[in-house]
Amino acid sequence: MVLKDTAKGYNEQTISSKARYFVGEMYKIKVSQSRVISITSGKGGVGKTNAVANLAYALAQLGKKVLIVDADLGLANIDILFGLTPKYTLQHVIMGQKRLTEVIVSGPGGVKVLPASSGVEELTNLTTEQRKRLLAEFSYLDEAYDFILIDTAAGISSNVIYFNLAASEIINIVEPDPTSFTDAYALMKVLSVKYGVKEFKIILNNVNSEAEAKELFEKLKLVSSKFLQIQLYYLGYILHDEKLKEAVRMQKAVVEAFPYAKASRCFYQIVKNLCNVSKEQIDKQGFNKFLHRLIGRGMNK
Confidence of residue 28 (pLDDT cuts 50, 70, 90): very low
pLDDT of 294 reads 72
- Lowest-confidence segment of 133-137, 169-173, 195-199, 214-218 by average pLDDT: 133-137
* pLDDT category of residue 18 using cuts at 50, 70 and 90: very low
Percent of the chain exceeding pLDDT 90 equals: 47
Task: Look at residue 1 and tell me whether its pLDDT is greater than 50.
Answer: no
Report CA 159 to chain centroid distance, whole Å: 16
Q: Which of 67-81, 122-136, 152-166, 231-245 has the lowest mean pLDDT?
A: 122-136
Q: Mean pLDDT, to the nearest integer, of 170-191? A: 94
Domains of the chain: 32-296 (3.40.50.300)
Q: CA 194, 189, 292, 87 torsion: positive or negative?
A: positive
pLDDT by residue (tens digit) across 196-239? 999 999 999 999 999 999 999 999 999 998 899 899 999 999 99
- pTM, entire model: 0.83
